[in-house]
């Protein structure tokens, strides 16, 4: 049996500062990495690879199967953020590879993909994620020069109700939030956690990622620098999410009181350290979700997820008359459209107040 050609490319390893030769066998699809050495440019590394008898991709372009392309993508282009990798792998292993793994990438066309997505018992948002990954694989194939550079066919795939939310976004009223806090009694840890989440509109992963050194007591700021998802400490969601936030004196006082009573108060300790892990890790996601669920049931305010506080923050910013530009910065959004279209909802009392003001303007002249 004729042995399959093994061809690849030179890739720079930022961690070690070396150039590596990465390739995948077209038959097995398994990625392999070989260290070439330290060179000033990619061209120099490529010359060395050729001198070593390594064959650079693609002398005669061969269209790879999707699973082969996925393995190359994992080796060269897979994001490093753990939560992102986990999400990508879920869609790849459970949907894309089982359906398209043995097909060449050129067979992944718009019409069959759209028809296939229509058969999946998934939410429109989940289908958008799968289409997005297929889009990236096509881009990677063009980047790798295994297919001609042209319009990505995944741009033609339409997903019904893709822009419609699966469920209505929920926000809390002041009365509901106070009822939730009251159910926690004298538990300073949880009361402080909820106040921080709703006062900054933080994602729960960012709350759990706070350390005491992030609090600048003199400058009256709190720095959002990291996120903890499933006990894995990682970067925040985006570059815009990492920001130093101004902190009100009252909130600093609450943080100060919590630091005085917690047994984990060193600068590198987690603000919400887990006593079960002896402070080595913050509270777990699961514990937060379960505690919120139980507290919401006791307060009789319906289901409360951890992300409710971020939506609530946006709504309350509206209610106190904050301009949209400032809201975008406080929400740490890259695009103001995200602030306007996705987060928050006008509170009923504020809507009535605005409505009544307009009516009072109109009535004297109308009558």
Q: What does each of the 367 residues of the chain score in pLDDT, given as a tens digit? A: 334 445 677 888 888 888 888 877 666 667 778 888 888 888 788 778 777 777 765 444 568 899 989 988 988 888 888 888 889 999 999 999 999 999 999 999 999 999 999 999 999 989 999 999 999 999 999 998 888 889 999 999 999 877 665 556 678 888 888 898 888 877 888 889 988 888 888 888 888 999 999 999 998 888 888 888 888 887 777 777 778 888 888 888 889 999 999 999 999 999 999 988 888 999 988 888 888 899 899 999 988 888 888 888 888 888 777 777 777 777 777 666 665 666 555 555 655 565 556 556 555 544 4
Tokens of 196: 């921080």
Tell me if the bond preceding 58 is cis, omega within 30° of 0. Answer: yes
Q: Please name every residue paired with 18 in a beta bridge, in sequence order, or none if there are none.
A: 13
CA dist 339 and 325 (Å) reads 9
Nearest CA among 259, 256, 260 for reference residue 217: 256
In 10 A of CB 286, how many CB atoms?
10
pLDDT value, residue 366 = 44
CA distances from residue 183 to 80, 142, 304 in whole angstroms, order as listed: 39, 56, 13
Q: What is the SS3 assignment for the chain?
A: CCCCCCCEEEEEECCCCEEEEEEECCCCCCEEEEEEECCCCHHHHHHHHHHCCCCECCCCCCCCEHHHHHHHHHHHCCCCCHHHHHHHHHHHHHHHHHHHCCCEHHHCCHHHHHHHHHHCCCCHHHHHHHHHHHHHHHHHHHHCCCCCCCCCHHHHCCCCCCCCCCCCCCCCCHHHHHHHHHCCCCCHHHHHHHHHHHHHCCCHHHHHCCEHHHEECCCCEEEECCEEECCEEECCCCCCCCEEEECCHHHHHHHHHHHHHCCCCCCCCECCECHHHCCCCECCHHHHHHHHHHHHHHHCCCCCCCCHHHHHHHHHHHHCCCCHHHHHHHHCCCCHHHHHHCCCCCCHHHHHHHHHHHHHHHHHHHC
DSSP code at position 105: G
Break the chain into its structural domains and give their ranges: 1-62, 78-166, 174-341
Query: For 174-341, CATH number?
Result: 1.10.443.10
Entry pTM:
0.63
Question: Torsions phi, psi of 36, nearest 5?
Answer: -95, -45
CA dist 69 and 136 (Å) reads 11
CA dist 302 and 148 (Å) reads 53
pLDDT value, residue 113 = 95
- CA atoms within 13 A of residue 2's CA, in its CB half-sphere: 3
Tokens of 281: 């890790």
CA dist 204 and 197 (Å) reads 7
Tokens 């500062």 correspond to 17
53: left (phi over 0), alpha (psi -120 to 50) or beta: left
Nearest CA among 230, 231, 236 for reference residue 281: 231
């Amino acid at each position: 049996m004729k042995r399959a050609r093994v061809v690849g490319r030179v890739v720079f390893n930022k961690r070690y500062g070396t150039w590596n030769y990465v390739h995948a066998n077209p038959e097995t699809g398994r990625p392999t990495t070989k260290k070439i050495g330290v060179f000033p440019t990619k061209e120099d590394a490529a010359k060395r690879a050729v001198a070593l008898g390594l064959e650079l991709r693609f002398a005669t372009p061969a269209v790879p199967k999707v699973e082969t392309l996925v393995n190359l993508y994992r080796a060269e282009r897979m994001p490093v953020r753990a939560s992102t990798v986990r999400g990508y792998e879920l869609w790849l292993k459970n949907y894309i590879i089982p359906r398209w793994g043995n097909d060449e990438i050129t067979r992944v066309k718009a019409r069959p993909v759209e028809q296939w997505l229509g058969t999946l018992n998934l939410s429109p948002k989940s289908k958008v994620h799968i289409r997005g990954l297929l889009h990236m694989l096509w881009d990677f194939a063009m980047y790798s020069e295994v297919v001609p550079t042209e319009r990505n066919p995944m741009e033609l795939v339409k997903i019904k109700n893709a822009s419609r939310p699966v469920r209505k976004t929920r926000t809390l009223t002041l009365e509901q939030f106070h009822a939730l806090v009251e159910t926690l009694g004298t538990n300073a840890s949880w009361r402080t956690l909820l106040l921080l989440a709703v006062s900054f509109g933080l994602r729960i992963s960012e709350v759990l990622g706070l350390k005491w050194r992030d609090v600048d007591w003199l400058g009256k700021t709190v720095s959002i620098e990291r996120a903890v998802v499933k006990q894995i400490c990682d970067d925040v969601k985006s570059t815009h999410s990492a920001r130093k936030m101004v902190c009100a004196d009252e909130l600093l006082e609450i943080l100060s009181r919590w630091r005085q009573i917690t047994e984990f108060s060193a600068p590198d300790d987690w603000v919400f350290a887990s006593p079960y892990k002896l402070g080595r890790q913050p509270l777990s996601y699961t514990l937060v979700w379960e505690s919120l669920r139980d507290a919401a049931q006791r307060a009789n305010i319906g289901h409360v997820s951890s992300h409710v506080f971020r939506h609530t923050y946006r709504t309350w910013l509206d209610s106190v008359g904050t301009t949209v530009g400032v809201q975008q910065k406080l929400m740490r959004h890259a695009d103001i459209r995200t602030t306007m279209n996705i987060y928050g909802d006008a509170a009923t009392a504020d809507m009535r107040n605005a409505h009544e003001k307009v009516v009072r303007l109109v009535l004297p002249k109308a009558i």
